[in-house]
C-alpha cells in the first residue's frame, strides 16, 4: 500500500537525491499519482490532466510535422482526410504513437510520454477526422 506519507517520503528522497533536478522529479512523481489506471479495449482512459498535457504536447511536438489543424498537405501526415495508413481505431492510433512507423520520420514516443498522455494524444488526432466518432 502506498499512503500519502510514503509518497511524501519518496518525494523527499527524490529532492535529496536529485538536488537541483528535483522540480522535474517532483513533477513526474505528481504525474504518476494522478495517472489513469482503468484500461479497456481503447487503452487507458486519460485523466483531465493528461488531456491538457496532450494539448500542449500536440502543439510543441506534433504540429511541427502534422500541422496545428491536423490537415497537413502531405497525405501521410494528414489526420483529417479519412485515410489512416496504420489503422484508425483508438488502439491502432495509440500503437502508432507509442511505437512510431519504422523507416519514416514518425518516431516512437513511448519513452517521452506516459500511456495516459499517449491515449489522450490518440483521441486528439482522431478528433481531426470528421469521419471518426
> Which residues of this protein are in contact with ligand HEC, per CB under 6 A?
57, 61-62, 64-66, 76-77, 84-86, 93, 96-97, 101, 104-106, 109, 121, 125
Please say which residue, 33 or 59, places its beta carbon nearer to ligand HEC. Answer: 59
Query: What is the three-class DSSP state of 53?
Result: helix
Number of other CB atoms surrounding residue 122 within 10 Å:
24
CB of 126 to ligand HEC, least distance (A): 8
CB of 27 to ligand HEC, least distance (A): 19
Q: Taking a C-beta distance cutoff of 8 angstroms, is the pair 78, 70 a contact?
A: yes
Q: Cell match 481503447: residue? A: 42
Q: Cell match 489506471: residue? A: 37
CB of 103 to ligand HEC, least distance (A): 8
Please say which residue, 36 or 121, places its beta carbon nearer to ligand HEC. Answer: 121
Q: Within 13 Å of residue 36, how many CA atoms lie on the same side as its CB?
A: 20
Tell me the C-alpha distance between 79 and 69, whole Å: 9
Please say which residue, 66 or 114, places its beta carbon nearer to ligand HEC. Answer: 66
Query: What is the three-class DSSP state of 98?
Result: helix
Please say which residue, 44 or 121, places its beta carbon nearer to ligand HEC. Answer: 121
CB of 33 to ligand HEC, least distance (A): 23
Amino acid at each position: 500500500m502506498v499512503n500519502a506519507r510514503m509518497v511524501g517520503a519518496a518525494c523527499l528522497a527524490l529532492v535529496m537525491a536529485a538536488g537541483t533536478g528535483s522540480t522535474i522529479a517532483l513533477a513526474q512523481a505528481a504525474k504518476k499519482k494522478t495517472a489513469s489506471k482503468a484500461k479497456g479495449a481503447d487503452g487507458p482512459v486519460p485523466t483531465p490532466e493528461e488531456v491538457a498535457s496532450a494539448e500542449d504536447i500536440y502543439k510543441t511536438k506534433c504540429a511541427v510535422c502534422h500541422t496545428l489543424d491536423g490537415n497537413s498537405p502531405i497525405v501521410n501526415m494528414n489526420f483529417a482526410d479519412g485515410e489512416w495508413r496504420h489503422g484508425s481505431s483508438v488502439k491502432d492510433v495509440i500503437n502508432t504513437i507509442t511505437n512510431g512507423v519504422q523507416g519514416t520520420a514518425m518516431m516512437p514516443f513511448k519513452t517521452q510520454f506516459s500511456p495516459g498522455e499517449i491515449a489522450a494524444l490518440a483521441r486528439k488526432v482522431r478528433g481531426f477526422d470528421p469521419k471518426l466518432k
